[in-house]
């Protein structure tokens, strides 16, 4: 099955995969070749995929941290479009943790100002940072 994960800025992954696990509002969606066609939203978290080459699994699974997005599945092709996605966070874990702390403080302030749109944007960014922290820890132990 073919997979393409992209953001408005770039293609994060494109290639053949055996299967994929995608975070959604209803839990992780596991997709394999021949899956029922569907469109659903992606929630911030970790995408797990198993790459293939010439119908043979190559290496270990690959992890991608993602922000909110959409997934389009047609049975043979999976397309994921996300506001932000990362194979390996560029920031250090300490920088990510500091960014998380700053966003949490900003969200607390925004709650008193009743700016729902700003709170939602900050919460989405916070969820992506949490996914980056989780991915960074996974990459360090691999």
Residues 6+ apart with CB under 8 A from 81: 6, 7, 69, 70, 71, 72
Q: Is the pLDDT of residue 98 over 70?
A: yes
Q: Total domain count for the chain?
A: 2
Stated pTM of the model: 0.78
Task: Look at residues 54, 69, 86 and tell me which one is the last residue of a structural domain.
Answer: 86
My answer on whether 61 and 105 are in the same domain is no
Beta-ladder partners of 20: 31, 49
Q: Is 53 helix (H, G, I), strand (E, B) or coil?
A: strand
Task: Look at residues 44, 67, 86 and tell me which one is the last residue of a structural domain.
Answer: 86
| Enclosing domain of residue 77 | 2-86
My answer on whether 64 and 104 are in the same domain is no
- Cα four-point dihedral sign 107, 83, 100, 141: positive
My answer on whether 71 and 99 are in the same domain is no
pLDDT in tens, 9-41: 999 999 999 999 999 989 999 998 888 899 999
Whole-number pLDDT of residue 7: 92
Cβ–Cβ < 8 Å for 12, 3 = no
My answer on whether 60 and 100 are in the same domain is no
């Amino acid at each position: 099955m073919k997979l393409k994960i992209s953001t408005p800025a770039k293609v994060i992954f494109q290639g053949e995969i055996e299967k994929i696990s995608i975070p959604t509002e209803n839990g992780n969606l596991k997709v394999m070749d021949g899956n029922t066609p569907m469109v659903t939203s992606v929630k911030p978290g970790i995408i797990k995929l198993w790459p293939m080459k010439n119908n043979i699994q190559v290496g270990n699974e690959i992890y991608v941290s993602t922000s909110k997005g959409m997934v389009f599945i047609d049975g043979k092709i999976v397309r994921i479009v996300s506001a932000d996605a990362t194979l390996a966070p560029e920031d250090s874990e300490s920088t990510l943790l500091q960014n998380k702390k700053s966003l949490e403080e900003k969200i607390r302030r925004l709650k008193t100002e009743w700016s729902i749109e700003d709170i939602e944007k900050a919460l989405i960014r916070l969820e992506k940072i949490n996914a980056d922290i989780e991915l960074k820890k996974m990459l360090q132990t691999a």
